[in-house]
A and B are shown apart, each in its own frame.
Chain A
Amino acid sequence: MLSIDRYAYSNKLRHVHPAEKCGFALITVAVCLASSNRLTFILVILLMAGLAVFRAGIPLPFYLKLMCVPMSFLAVGVLTVAISITGENHPFLWGLKIGGYTLGVTGPGLQAAADLFLKSLGAVSCLYFLSLTTPVVEILAVIKKLRLPPLFIELMSLVYRFIFVLLETAQKIQVAQSSRWGYASLKTSFHSLGQLGANLFVKSYHHSQMIHAALSARCYSGDLNVLEEPRPLSKRNLGMIAAADLVLLAVGIWPGK
């Protein structure tokens, strides 16, 4: 999570207008989800991976590692689609007869599973593209332009900031504990972890009160207003995004499969 954030700030597409990147990622997700052609999914995956690795400069090993993160969820979901149980006589590619039922894999089932797998991976790669190239702050600025309720945006921005404060606090407590043999055995580990949790809560509460005092000291009166840097949209990028998504859409709704 921390590394994704680091790349978001240091990648080569950092200075592309965030609205372009958000729009591209979201439209492509929509096309990918709406399409039923396997080729579209594969194209989306390749396109997003190519952009992230070659244009944004995200190291390939890191990108592959990220792509493995949703694998366990996907595997479980895909398996349930691929494997079917039925009492009727279907043409099973591979089957196990248990009483009057067959547990096995059918041709269409396998096809559907593959589609689902690729579709999900395609959607995930769109979101990875967005989160690897666009800092949260800039995504928030785009959301703000869309006129979502300020409360929602402020909450997101504070949550984002405090994830890091919380992680840092937790890490400090953990280091302090382990340097005093807090994690020497299983028993002490459980004890230390419990204390870490409890302390983290108390500390966070105290911290939030201090933050409020600090905000008040700067004339805070309910709204977190901050400056945004003005940035022009690039016509060239918009054109490329439109072209890419139109091609994907065309492939997606192509009748002859």
Chain B
Amino acid sequence: MKDDPILEAREVSFGYPDGTEALRKVSLSIPRGKKTAFLGPNGAGKTTLFLHFNGILRPAGGKVCFDGRDVRYDHRSLLDLRKNVGIVFQDPDTQLFSASVLQEVSFGPLNLGLPREEVWKRVNGAMAATGTVHLKDRPTHFLSYGQKKRVAIADILAMRPRVLICDEPTAWLDARHADQIMDLFDKFNGEGMTVVFSTHDVNLAYSRADYIYIMKNGAVIGEGLPEQVFKDLGLLQQAGLERPWLVDVYEELKRKGLAVKNSWPKTKEELFSSIAGKDFSLSRARP
């Protein structure tokens, strides 16, 4: 899984002017065509790392590689990188600059120098995929937070990047909208897009990600498949993370000898089907 990374950081260090060391020799690789989640407390360096992935920030030490090649920082190379790696910022208000949704979404593809018809096609496609077509003529400042978030994602989708990076996509969203956004990611991922997101929600990372990195104080302190990462109780404690509730419940069932399967459930349905015993609801329905 990791022999074919699309993005790599090699010993990347970065410090902000106020003296904060945001990244300390971070080395990691993002598997191609997968969904990778970044977990870790606030100030762990996730956002800073993401800004390195499309060249907004330039590492003070080490280097970033995209698709097997070192990222270069001249104008042309940067545009090329940003075409392929799109970032959805955490606060949509920092991203939405245009007065209408249609114009907002068209900004990226127009910058790529595409012909108008192609831009129209992509803008319509991106708005359809994010369910924002009906907001087309609305000014961005009259949108609700969830709508803004979806428009911010459409912004990036319209550029058709190969990697979609999303900084806390579900922060401040209600459960239903958060689910919708994660379903969108699954859809894009199914179409071959590599998805990277950061989150504080262990349950989300556990059920939705293919691979997980855990960061703290500007360094990667753990990584692996979700099942591996959440098995390492020492690591979780160090990062201040809890175990996903699905795993907690399953382990408790297993301890009491009530679990029939021998693998961690990824969804509520999987958990239910691993509980031993007769299906009472059926027998009760037909007495």
Interface residues of A (CB under 8 A from B): 5-6, 9, 135-137, 140, 157-158, 160-161, 164-165, 168, 207, 210-211, 213-221, 223-229
Contacts and interface: CB of A to CB of B under 8 A. Distances in A.
A210 B98 CA distance: 15
A219 B82 contact: yes
A219 B161 CA distance: 12
B93 to A, nearest CB: 6
A218 B159 contact: yes
A88 to B, nearest CB: 57
8 contacts: A135-B100, A135-B139, A160-B99, A161-B140, A165-B141, A218-B111, A227-B119, A228-B103
B interface residue count range (under 10 / 10 to 19 / 20 to 34 / 35 or more): 35 or more
A160 B206 CA distance: 42
B87 A157 contact: no
A208 to B, nearest CB: 9
Contacts of B98: 157, 161, 224, 226
Given A9-B142, A215-B97, A226-B104, 8 more contacts: A135-B139, A157-B98, A213-B51, A213-B56, A214-B87, A219-B108, A226-B103, A228-B103
Contacts of A161: 96-99, 140-141
A217 B87 contact: yes
Closest 6 CB pairs of A and B: A226-B103, A227-B106, A219-B111, A210-B94, A164-B141, A218-B108
A137 B82 contact: no
B155 interface: yes
A220 B111 contact: yes
B111 A135 contact: no
A168 B91 CA distance: 14
Nearest to B152: A214
B212 interface: no
Contacts of B2: none
B141 A219 contact: no
B178 interface: no
B87 A137 contact: no
B99 A218 contact: no
Contacts of A223: 111
B54 interface: yes
A106 to B, nearest CB: 50
Contact of B82 (A5, A216, A229): A216
B149 interface: no
Interface of B: 51, 54, 56, 75, 79, 82-83, 86-87, 89, 91, 93-100, 102-104, 106-108, 110-112, 116, 119-120, 123, 137-142, 155-156, 159
Nearest to A160: B99
A221 B123 contact: no
A227 B120 contact: yes
A165 B137 CA distance: 19
A219 B79 contact: yes
Contacts of B95: 211, 214
B281 to A, nearest CB: 48
A71 B56 CA distance: 51
A229 B137 CA distance: 10
Centre residue among A165, A219, A223, A224 by max chain B CB count within 10 A: A219
Centre residue among A140, A157, A218, A224 by max chain B CB count within 10 A: A218
A18 B98 CA distance: 18
B257 to A, nearest CB: 52
Contact of B99 (A137, A210, A214, A227): A137
B54 A217 contact: yes
Centre residue among B89, B103, B120, B156 by max chain A CB count within 10 A: B103
A165 B111 contact: no
Contacts of A226: 98, 102-104, 106-107, 110
Contact of B156 (A210, A216, A218, A225): A218
Nearest to B159: A218
A228 B99 CA distance: 12
A135 B94 CA distance: 22
A165 B93 contact: yes
A63 B148 CA distance: 31
Given A207-B94, A219-B111, A221-B79, A9 B54 contact: no
A225 B110 CA distance: 6
Contacts of B102: 226-227, 229
A220 B155 CA distance: 13
A161 B51 CA distance: 24
A214 B94 contact: yes
Contacts of B91: 210
